[in-house]
A = this chain, B = another copy of it.
Amino acid sequence: MSNAFATIRWEDDADGHLVVLDQTRLPGETVYLECRTVEDVWQAIKRLSVRGAPAIGVAAAYGVCVGVNEGRDVNEVCDYLATSRPTAVNLFWALERMRRVAEGSPTTGTVLPARPQPPILEVLLAEARAIDAEDRESCRAMARFGADLLDDLPVGAGILTHCNAGALVSGSGGGTALGVIFELARRGKRPRVFVDETRPLLQGARLTMWELMQRGVEAMLICDSVAAQVMREGRVQAVVTGADRIAANGDTANKIGTYGVAIVARAHQIPFYVAAPATTFDLSISSGADIPIEQRAAEEITHGFGKPTAPAGAAVYNPAFDVTPAELIAAIITDRGVVRPVNADTIRATVAL
């Protein structure tokens, strides 16, 4: 599943730097950000130019290469990039891989020269490219496992999704939840996708609609609050979303609003599926209660569209994520197979190394 656009790519010029598609400008403008410093990479993640758990991991891995290219210490760069966002575990997983590779390199432990010697940069770049390639392959695997799981759906079935879990959440792969939907479309299932606009930052309206329309998949944009209504109308046969971090018991952190979608899906006896690679699981935490939830600025809600939409001084609660308890999740589609039913045992059996 190849993309019409490159979400993240390493530019192999003399300096070597990271180029990311600025998702905050989509769908109106297709703008690429050139990240030549670690600060550029940190900002691109923090400000959601790059977003979605797998993509954050890939961007962070290349970000380490950017930092080493600047002559900075690997561990210091990793520590810094780890502060960009707290919830998606792929960020920490990717940085940990980069740290381990650096430790295994002959230059580690010695004082780094102002410009690093080629060997360590090459080793790090190879690792970042490996993470990128593995993610691409992982998207393919999820798409296949997910489409097999949903094979019983009739042609033209309605699938509801929340936020964006498409090619834009992967460095160069087809995505998680949307990857499954694209594979269903490729198999002739003609899915009809209901797309929650996903307040406050409208990743559904801006990004998911854009990806689906680009690929010719039938898509209908709805406000988040309409999900229950289209389910009541009998137009939704399955829900598929991505994930930002999954605890050992299957509790799943994902974009704020996912939990409510899971509750209304259950109320209408509609299966709720999560699609996420093994790298999104955090087996070190036993339940969702231990997942840190990022709080974001009030302005995302009160000034999100260029003009104030609430009285000045309004108090606002703006968590970026919520946690859907495992018991509301019919199955988790991973790159190593489908976890069903969702519990600590089935998860360990599928995704533990």
In angstroms, Cα B259 to Cα A310, docked, is 24
Asked if A267 CB lies within 8 Å of chain B CBs, one says yes
- How far does the alpha carbon of A210 sit from the alpha carbon of B309 in the complex, in Å? 11
A287 to chain B, nearest CB (A): 13
* Contact, CB under 8 Å: A310 / B225: no
Which residues from B are CB-within-8-Å of A313? 213
Contact A301–B199 (Cβ < 8 Å): no
B residues less than 8 Å from A218 (CB atoms): 315
What does DSSP make chain A's interface, helix, strand, loop or mixed? mixed
Contact status A301-B205, CB under 8 Å: yes
User: Is B259's CB under 8 angstroms from A229's CB?
Assistant: yes
Closest Cβ of chain B to A220, distance in Å, is 5
Residues of B contacting A227 in the complex (Cβ-Cβ under 8 angstroms): 260
Given B210, B224, B317, which contacts A220 in the complex, CB threshold below 8 Å? Answer: B317
| A123 CB-CB contact with B under 8 Å | no
- Asked whether A221 and B317 contact (CB < 8 A) given A226-B257, A228-B260, the answer is yes
How many residues of A are counted as interface, with CB atoms below 8 angstroms from the partner's CB atoms?
54
Cβ B256 vs Cβ A223 within 8 A: yes
**Closest-CB distance, A283 to chain B (whole angstroms):** 24
Give the contacts of A291-310 with B (CB-CB under 8 A): 301-302, 304-310
CB contact under 8 A between A319 and B226, given known A197-B310, A259-B232, A313-B213: yes
Of the listed residues A220, A257, A307, A318, the one surrounded by the most CB atoms of chain B closer than 10 A to its CB is A257
Contact A302 B229 (CB under 8 A): no
Whether, in the assembled complex, A352 has its beta carbon less than 8 Å from a beta carbon of chain B, the answer is no
User: In the complex, which residue of chain B has the Cβ closest to the Cβ of A202?
Assistant: B309
Q: Does A31 contact B (CB under 8 A)?
A: no
Q: Is the CB of B260 within 8 A of A314?
A: no
| Inter-chain contacts of A301 with B (CB < 8 A) | 197, 205, 221-223
**Are B263 and A222 closer than 8 Å at their CB atoms?**
no
A213 touches B314 (CB 8 A): yes
- When chains A and B are docked, how far (Å) is the Cα of A267 from the Cα of B220? 27
Complex Cα–Cα for A221 and B319 (A): 12
Nearest chain B CB to A311's CB is how many angstroms away?
4
A26 to chain B, nearest CB (A): 9
A221 touches B307 (CB 8 A): no
Q: Which residues of the other chain, B, contact A344 by a CB distance below 8 angstroms? A: none
A199 proximity list for chain B (CB < 8 A): 197, 199, 223-225
Q: Which residue of B lies closest to A226 (CB)?
A: B256
A104: Cβ under 8 A from any B Cβ: no
Known contacts A197-B199, A226-B256, A226-B319: A221-B314 contact under CB 8 Å: yes
| A264 adjacent to chain B (CB < 8 Å) | yes
Extra 14 A-B pairs, beta carbons < 8 Å, given A205-B314, A225-B260, A226-B319: A197-B309, A199-B223, A206-B309, A213-B314, A221-B302, A223-B301, A223-B318, A225-B257, A228-B260, A229-B259, A260-B264, A263-B264, A266-B267, A306-B307
8 closest pairs, A vs B, by CB?
A: A305-B305, A225-B257, A228-B260, A199-B223, A205-B310, A27-B311, A224-B225, A229-B322
